[in-house]
Amino acid sequence: MKVLIVDDEVIIRTGLSTVIDWEQNGFTILEPASSAEEALQRIPAEHPDIIFTDIRMTGKTGLDLIREVKKNCPDTEWIIISGYDEFAYAQQAIREGVSEYLLKTSRPDEIILAALRAKDRLEKRKQKDQLGWEKDRMLNRSFLRSLLSAASGPDEEAACELWERYPELRPEQNGLMQIWLVSAEDDGSKGRNQDALYASVGSLLQETLTCEWLPWHESLLLLVHVQAAAAGWNAVEQALRKAGDKLECRLFAASGRGVNDALLLRDAVETAAAAKSYAWLLGNPGIIRYEDIEGRKGCRAICSHAEETAFSALLKAGDEESLRSWISDVAVRLQKDEHATPATASAYLHSLLLAGHRWLERAAASIGLSRPLPDTEEAGRLHLAADPRPELYRRFKSMMNQYRMMVADRTPVERAISYIHEHLEQSLSLGEVARHVHMHPNYFSEVFKRETGQNYIEFVTQARLRQAMVLLSETPAKISEVAKRIGYEDIKYFNRLFKGFTGNTPSEYRKKAENNPPTG
């Protein structure tokens, strides 16, 4: 603690500052002041905690000094050290808030004991103030969390209470409030946990910004008062960069839409969360503003038939490195799409997973299995909160392995059936399929009918028509497109075959499927 001695007698100033071992007792002695006027000039810059002052000095008195300093520094401890042992002086000093009254004839040990008592009083007041401040801060943050978490947002009463608790955050004429969601990562070498790291980040931000912070869903929420001009946003970014540099950690921050009314704070939170969800899609930049992404309309959410065909061939080939490279290409393409959103990108990846699942089911059905092995049911639970490539690779590799297990030790007819299901859009002549399984066409025809109970042409026709039923009920493809996908260029011929197999025309079948969707 810093001690200042004020006395117009040089012998007293020098004696008090040199005879007593202040440093050993935990004090820093400042250069003594020779008058109250000099002290008044220096105190704002030097901030002494304890001041020893004479009462009667040339110019202003010690009591004048006490009265003026207390206006701006009410917590300063005062000790009178006077040459006058008069009761009236002591009474006046007590009225001015002086805690100790000593005579200049007091021994050094009496003087240092008075200083130690003043130090103890200061420390106790600081502890009490700190406890009160911590309690208020905890209550304020609890209120702010409740206000921002409310599904309907704050009402007028809550808005008024917000300004009572945080008057400094209230936007003025050109001011705005903004929500930032901040995530922090470090290398773990400093041994600090995430809560401690966020507390350090929040404290550093409060040193340079008018803001409040609180932990929020494994990140840090920052409510900050900024100017509407661009410089206001830059101030937050600069503070974030400085905090990251000082703490030696990487900060990612997403900002919501700036608002000038507490009733709109829920929108500020939701738009900040929306901006944060773009982290992976935008390549994990340090800063994302909602204004940068709000105009995105979304990318294509369903994979094309050509993509599904190429993808199925990739899974069938079983080359894991090619699979990894393909997934990486898909991810890069999504990240480069200037209209992609987390929702539409996730839907597109989900459609790929479903395509893989359907391919595996068809492959299983082609060799007599009612369904593929477990695990592909995960297809509907992919989220785009982070880099999806590891999870996509894991799931698609699982499909590869399942297919590999299913086709191991198959008979030539089973291999032929798989080939038929995977090439329904092609001509599929008996000779072509027989060559695929390395058999003579005549012998293959006999074996095929013996193992399936159907002749080859009948089997292929029914396989194509069953696939047409799936396409009509699950896709918006035109009937002519459906016919081509299963190998029929003549639409009239396809319609006749389909009605003979199902009892309905393709249009009638699709309409019934739309009116009676599956419930499972």
pLDDT tens-digit readout, 186-224: 877 677 788 888 889 999 998 888 899 999 988 999 999
3-class DSSP assignment, residue 79: strand
For residue 462, give the CATH number of its domain. 1.10.10.60
Q: What is the pLDDT of residue 87?
A: 58
pLDDT tens-digit map of 246-286:
998 999 999 999 888 888 899 999 999 999 999 999 988 88
d(CA 362, CA 417): 10
pLDDT of residue 369: 62
Please choose, from the candidates 70, 61, 5, 63, the residue with its C-alpha nearest in 3D space to the C-alpha of residue 33: 5
Whole-model pTM over 0.85: no
- Res 381: pLDDT: 53
Residue whose C-alpha is closest to residue 147's, from 169, 132, 130, 129: 169
Are residues 320 and 366 both part of a single domain? Answer: yes
C-alpha span between 355 and 369 (Å, rounded): 18
pLDDT of residue 376: 44
What per-residue confidence (pLDDT) applies to 518?
56
Residue 66 neighbours by CB distance under 10 Å: 21
In this predicted model, what pLDDT tens digit does every residue of 403-423 receive, in sequence order? 887 777 678 888 888 888 888
- pLDDT, tens digit, for every residue of 345-403? 999 999 999 888 888 887 777 666 655 554 444 445 566 667 889 888 988 988 888 88
Would you state the pLDDT for residue 412? 84
Q: What's the average model confidence in pLDDT over 440-457?
A: 90
For the segment 121-146, the average pLDDT, to the nearest whole number, is: 83
- Domain match, 184 and 237 both: yes
Q: Note the residue count of the chain.
A: 520
Q: Does 428 reside within a domain?
A: yes
Residue 447 lies in a domain: yes
Residue 83: give its domain's CATH number.
3.40.50.2300
Residues 288 and 320 in one domain: no
Judge whether 7 lies within some domain.
yes
pLDDT-based confidence at residue 88 (cuts at 50, 70, 90): low
- By the 8 A CB rule, do 362 and 309 touch? no
- How many domains would you assign to the chain? 4
In this prediction, residue 278 carries a pLDDT of: 92
Cβ-contact 355, 310 below 8 angstroms: no
Average per-residue pLDDT in the chain? 86
- Enter the DSSP assignment of 383: -
User: In what helix (H) or strand (E) does residue 216 lie, and over which residues does it extend?
Assistant: strand 211-216
Query: Both 280 and 398 in a single domain?
Result: no
Question: What's residue 231's pLDDT?
Answer: 45
Question: One-letter amino acid identity for 264?
Answer: L
Q: What is the pLDDT of residue 367?
A: 66
**In what order do the strands lie in the sheet containing 50-53?**
28-29, 2-6, 50-53, 77-82, 100-103
Residue 105 DSSP SS3: coil
Kindly state the percentage of the chain with pLDDT values over 70. 92
**Encoded amino acid at 159, one letter:** A
Q: Which CA distances in Å does 1 have to 50, 52, 72? A: 8, 13, 18
Flag whether 137 is in a domain: no
Same domain, residue pair 256 and 343: no
Residue 297's SS3 state is coil
Question: Poorest-confidence range of 28-42, 312-326, 356-370, 492-506?
Answer: 356-370
Q: Are residues 10 and 115 in the same domain?
A: yes
Measured at the alpha carbon of residue 287, what is the angle toward residues 282 and 293, in degrees to the nearest 5?
A: 50
Q: Is it the case that residue 520 has pLDDT exceeding 50?
A: no
| Radius of gyration for the alpha carbons in the chain, expressed in angstroms and rounded | 40
**Same domain, yes or no, for 206 and 120?**
no
Choosing from 293, 314, 330, the residue where a domain stops is 293
Q: Can you give the pLDDT at residue 426?
A: 85
Residue 256: per-residue pLDDT: 92
Can you give the CATH number for the domain in which 166 is found? 3.30.70.270
> Within this chain, do residues 375 and 472 fall inside the same structural domain, yes or no?
no
211, 236: one domain: yes
Residue 119: closest CA among 19, 44, 25: 25
Say if CB 406 and CB 367 are below 8 A apart. Answer: yes
Which range scores top for mean pLDDT: 70-79, 267-276, 315-324, 410-419? 267-276
Domain that holds residue 236: 150-293
**Tell me, what's the pLDDT at 377?**
46
Alpha helices in 47-181 (DSSP H): 62-72, 87-95, 108-149, 156-165
Q: Is residue 44 part of a domain?
A: yes
Residues 276 and 345 in one domain: no
Output 287 or 361, whichever has higher pLDDT.
287
Pick the last residue of a domain from 107, 124, 141. Answer: 124
Residue 476 or 51, more confident: 51
Question: pLDDT tens across 146-187, in order?
Answer: 888 887 778 888 888 888 888 888 887 678 889 999 999 887
Is residue 139 in some structural domain?
no
Question: Do 277 and 165 share a structural domain?
Answer: yes
- Residue after which a domain boundary falls, among 242, 268, 293: 293
Nearest to 402 by CA among 437, 359, 445: 359
71 lies in some domain:
yes
pLDDT tens across 459-505, in order? 999 999 999 998 898 888 899 999 998 888 899 999 999 999 999 99
C-alpha 500/C-alpha 102 separation (Å) is 117
311, two tokens: 């993808």
140 in a structural domain: no
